[in-house]
Structure 1
């Protein structure tokens, strides 16, 4: 799951830290019930949960350079929350009637004189040929500040209204790789073919008569006689070796097997070169793109994984977290209005006055790949002991929420004690080591005093 870690800016809001933590726990419990509902009530099409919508948004951004989500309102009274979302394909965002761009309408995005988006023209998803194409204008925000249409993309220059595909920079190399693989497949098919030929001492004219067919009775008789002599010769010479028959040709005949040359022609090296170029253009490592870890040591694999992890964390923060945070704000506003969650009474600002402060949060996604589990754990323990990291950060790297782990550990410890089970050996050893170390520190402090 793409899990919420809600952390409102309690100092700015003027509330206590404990009040903020209590409010966060209340919000996280209500959000999980709404977002990961098996009935997919968060989705207008009732196909996706929140995590599935985030995954689709990331895939949409990867292939189109942007993602669109429309926040809608369900009119049914059978559910507690009316907030719903619709994933919108970027192909449906275009100028009305497919007209050209103008000063205030570019590629389906209506902008003001400063370049800020005011709304989007969305083509209706009608069956092709069923009805005339229609466009609906959807505002970016409602008058109260609630997001109505979420658009996530990374502009590279001023005035840009739509995203650019990340594959544009490597599209030529991807086409070259596809052509190379198809050509190599055709070459492999040709190399798999073979032809068997028998060379004899017949002259060219006689051989062609036998192969192409004889027209005269005399030639047919000669061919029949020649074949008969061959059959009689081979039937009279049953040479066997270990029970297996060994064919023996007539004097002057030789059997040849004609095959194509089986050479690589530098295909593997050229393919690796193209994959490395594509990986560099996409910001990932060659090993991760090709799924080839055969010639890597632990150090190189770890360096490659860390580099890719840093890139993916940046993309997660920019793409997935932005989409998730804006969707979360839409739901949080309704949850507060319906009093499903209650704001702390001593807060200086209301939700409408400080949306970002109340909706500030982090998102926990899938964990980092562990190349060597033992070394990964040792590194995490050393970072925590040295004060360079926290349980929250290390658990987030593994895709876990530290609060859930702590709560589960408390429950398991109490259940083990109630069942009369001893603590695990490693836990007892760690406890004794910590107790011994603290005792020695106390003795050294008393001596110093």
Structure 2
């Protein structure tokens, strides 16, 4: 009978062979449980646990943005620089694919942009905001709560006869998107998002909270199931930054440093209260009979109570400028505040840098403090910030603005607000060729205008950039600026003025 070596014997033999050959891999500290790494465990969560954690993070982030100046600063700075007054579209139809001349393409693009401007004023189903406002709201929601939620609706023309478009957007708070309590065991519903076998969102479960509840832990009877798509149009606009595998909901950008925001805010509060208490130390007078020494009308109690028992005097609170008369044998112990310490400002700045880095922003943007920088450092900080702004701007343009542009132009074409040139393909046969768009955001601005304008001129002279690129960096429309410049040159000629050379 053949005998095989035991498992232990095999391991010993293999280790001896490796040692004899001088081979072996260096052990990684990151994967060990020794020394300072011994208590570093990384527990995993279930889908239900992850949904619960995300909801808590969202609520805490909202609280920070409402009550914490640093959190409000970074969120508002990002929203203002990414969206500002709103991303503006430049229609860019694919004229070669559509077989259009340059003049035909220009006329078509102008008609499409005109239709969008009309809809921009009617975009909100509740009639309270323009589409520019909804862009800002959407990005603010993504940064704060991790996601936005808008329901595309077709309003009744008879009910709103003064509208030019039926299409409008209804804003929905992301907290209403959740899994009904009686559907927790369904594997195809992940945190309110119903998915199909391919993992694609198929429907969204939106709660209808009543007056006295928040919509959590309700049964499916209190929910509305909204399909993810209605034909070729989206049934729900649900946007978030996809940063993790198998992700269906978004998380706030404040999440990684949320503890720092809260603790630093508490530190500010405690130090401020300490200063207030130190500034409110009253005058304390020691006397044998405080009751006779107290001024008439004083709130000092009688020496004895109504039963004849001694009534000692205890001071629980006082305001600035108060004169207190102590009981016999009482002596004051004056409190001195040493807060904040000498290193508090440097320490707070260090924490603020960590908080800013967690959101991808430089310290100067979060704190609005440029006192520690020179021109080169300030420019480097703002360039770093603008890399982040442009990423979010491109994301908002693709996942929000462009989706709505497509629905607007479809209705505009059906209503006859623009027509396809003769011989051009049908709208539904060439939707992508008709719907090309460039979204332009607010200007970057100059730190040193002379240096940066000279750099733009050098770039134009060497064909590195275009006039449209230069204008777009300042939040303008290259085509519109060219038309204005042409009109100015013509006007100067008509008035007999020396025309400026077109750049």
Considering the TM-score relative to the shorter chain, is it more than 0.5?
yes
Alignment match, 2:208? 124
1:351-362 aligned at under 5 Å gives the runs 351-362=427-438
1:49 counterpart (130, 133, 136): 130
Query: What are the Cα deviations for residues 82-101 of structure 1, in whole angstroms up to 9, with x where unaligned?
Result: 11111121011122356425
Partner of 1:223: none
1:82-231 matches, within 5 Å, as 82-97=166-181, 99-100=183-184, 102-124=186-208, 126-128=210-212, 134-143=222-231, 145-194=232-281, 209=288
Aligned residue in 2 for 1:233 = none
- For residue 285 of structure 1, report the CA deviation from its aligned partner: 0.7
Mapped contact 1:70–1:88 kept (Cα < 8 A): yes
Q: Distance in 1 between matches of 2:185 and 2:253?
A: 23
Q: Name 1:363's counterpart in structure 2.
A: 439
SS in 1 for 2:265: helix
Residue matched to 2:154:
73
SS of alignment partner, residue 274 of structure 1: helix
Q: Which position in structure 2 is the counterpart of 1:228? A: none
Q: Can you list the C-alpha shifts for 1:347-370, whole angstroms capped at 9, x where unaligned?
A: 45x333443332221111111132
Q: Which has the larger radius of gyration?
A: 1
Contact 2:178-2:206 within 8 A present in 1 as well: yes
What SS class does the counterpart of residue 166 from structure 1 fall into?
coil
Pairwise CA distance, 1:269? 1.1
Equivalent position SS for 2:254: helix
Whole-Å Cα distance in 1 between the matches of residues 445 and 376 of structure 2? Answer: 14
Higher deviation after alignment, 89-98 or 291-300:
89-98
**Quick one: structure 1 residues 263 and 105, their matched pair in 2 at CA, closer, same or farther if it must change by over 3 Å?**
closer
Question: Deviations 1:225-245 (Å, cap 9, x if unpaired)?
Answer: xxxxxxxxxxxxxxxxxxxxx
Please list, as runs of the form range in 1=range in 2, the aligned pairs for 1:385-404 lying within 5 A after superposition.
Answer: 385-404=461-480
Number of aligned residue pairs = 372
- Is 1:309 matched with 2:393? no
> 1:4, CA displacement in angstroms?
0.6
For residues 334 and 72 of structure 1, do their structure 2 counterparts lie closer, same or farther at Cα, with a shift above 3 Å needed? Answer: same
| TM-score normalized by the length of structure 2 | 0.68
How many angstroms apart in 2 are the aligned matches of 1:128 and 1:12? 56
Going from structure 1 to structure 2, the CA distance change for 1:263 and 1:82 (only over 3 Å counts) comes to: closer
Task: Establish whether residue 343 from structure 1 lines up as the match of residue 420 from structure 2.
Answer: yes
Distance 1:270 1:98 in 2: 49
Cα distance, 1:192–1:342 mapped onto 2, change above 3 Å: same
Question: Which 4+ runs in 1 deviate beyond 6 A?
Answer: 129-133, 256-259
CA distance in structure 1 between the aligned counterparts of 2:235 and 2:433, rounded to whole angstroms? 20
1-side partners of 2:212 and 2:288: how far apart? Answer: 64
**Contact 2:118–2:164 (CA under 8 A) maintained in structure 1:** no
In structure 2, distance between residues paired with 1:415 and 1:263: 67
Structure 1 369/324 Cα, relative in aligned 2: closer, same or farther at 3 Å? same
The answer to whether structure 1 residue 334 and structure 2 residue 421 are counterparts is no
Q: 1:401 to 1:210 in 2, by over 3 A?
A: same
Offset of 1:193 from its aligned partner? 3.5
Alignment check: 8 A CA contact 1:60 1:67 kept: yes
Q: How many angstroms apart in 2 are the aligned matches of 1:44 and 1:111?
A: 28
| Mapped contact 1:193–1:259 kept (Cα < 8 A) | no
Kindly state the Cα deviation for residue 156 of structure 1 after the two structures are TM-superposed. 3.0
2:275–2:337 CA contact under 8 A, matched in 1: no
Q: CA deviation at 1:264?
A: 3.7
Structure 1 residue 328: deviation in Å?
0.8
Report SS of the residue matched to 1:121: strand
The 8 Å contact of residues 115 and 409 in structure 2, kept in 1 or not, is answered as no
Q: Is the 8 A contact 1:108 1:120 kept in 2?
A: yes
Query: How far 1:12 sits from its partner (Å)?
Result: 4.0
8 Å CA contact retained: 1:197, 1:258: no
Residues 159, 130 of structure 1: alpha-carbon distance in 2 compared, 3 angstrom cutoff: closer
Give 5+ residue unaligned stretches, structure 1: 199-206, 215-255, 435-449
- In structure 2, relative to structure 1, the CA distance for the partners of 1:180 and 1:261 (3 Å cut) is closer
- Give me the whole-angstrom Cα distance separating, in 1, the residues matched to 2:207 and 2:397: 25
User: Structure 1 residues 409-418 or 364-373, which shifts more?
Assistant: 409-418
State the TM-score, normalizing by the size of structure 1.
0.76
Report the Cα distance in structure 1 between the residues aligned to 2:259 and 2:395, rounded to whole angstroms. 27
